[in-house]
Amino acid sequence: MPTASPWSGCGGGNWKAPPGIRPEDRSSWRQIPGDLKAAKRDPAQASILTGRVRGVFDDLLGHAAWPPPRDWGRPLVTFPEPGAWDVPTRLWHWDNPCDLHLDHPRALFVVSFIGPVAPHGGGTLILSGSPRLLIQQERRLPASQRRGSIATLRDRFHRSHPWLMALTGQAPSPADRIAAFMDRETTVEGVPLRVVELTGEPGDMVFCHPVMVHCVAPNRGTWPRFMRIKTQILTHEGRELRDSRGDDRARRVEADGEPGG
């Protein structure tokens, strides 16, 4: 576990702890309303787009198929709290409309580690296999039903299988949620699903399908969790398709009030 201030290395630049929070005084640590939104404007984040990162985007989306993002998402901070760590039941969600990606992904969902995140230290939880299941279910829907409200679409997914109902609090939980949802895979409609905790070191990045189901996790460690989530980096094709449909749900989903993870 690092001994330096948890605010050091958080993207560089001129980041400062919000008023009332003293980095070396744990008694002053409290959750930050709205996270560190101002840090999206920090010029130091431009250094994230290295040649290696560009290569990943080219491999996954196609060479020159995507515009560089203006920012890498708002930094998310979760301070440690006492109690036992467990898999949450609430706030499982995805941030982008499925119908932009029915035949192939036209975007990436990107998680960047600003500080070290250890197991049970607040790292975002993702539901491995969920994009495949969501797209599979979306293809079966009439086009008219794909335009439903975000809440309706999420509720339909959460209730589509008993395992998902238990995961998302729609049905009674198993006695050991970690064993049931993380220690083994469960196959739903032919798709293996498992909850995975994202952990890593500063500079690590995770590139996901744009409709990856994820959830904010409790921090039961000893250090604040600092991560960035860029909910969607669209390809040029994805932007054109979104605009041609005359809606902007990709942005409205992100602004729907759900935590980013």
More confident position, 24 or 96: 96
- Confidence class for position 146, pLDDT limits 50, 70, 90: confident
pLDDT of residue 45: 82
- The residue-averaged pLDDT of 184-195 equals 97
- The residue-averaged pLDDT of 191-206 equals 97
More confident position, 45 or 87: 87
pLDDT of residue 36: 65
Identify whether the C-beta of residue 46 lies closer than 8 Å to the C-beta of residue 187: no
3-class state of residue 191 by DSSP: strand
3-class state of residue 132 by DSSP: helix
pLDDT of residue 256: 39
Chain centroid, CA 14 distance in Å: 25
Cα maximum dimension of the chain: 55
Q: What span, in angstroms and rounded, lies between the C-alpha atoms of 232 and 36?
A: 19
Is residue 193's pLDDT more than 90?
A: yes
The domains of the chain are located at 26-254
Q: Is the pTM of this model over 0.75?
A: yes
pLDDT of residue 46: 84
Average pLDDT value for the chain: 86
More confident position, 17 or 81: 81
pLDDT of residue 208: 98
pLDDT of residue 216: 94
**CATH topology classification for 26-254:** Jelly Rolls (2.60.120)
More confident position, 124 or 258: 124
Token pair recorded at residue 145: 């039903």
- 225-261 pLDDT, tens digit per residue, is 989 999 999 999 999 999 987 755 544 444 434 456 8
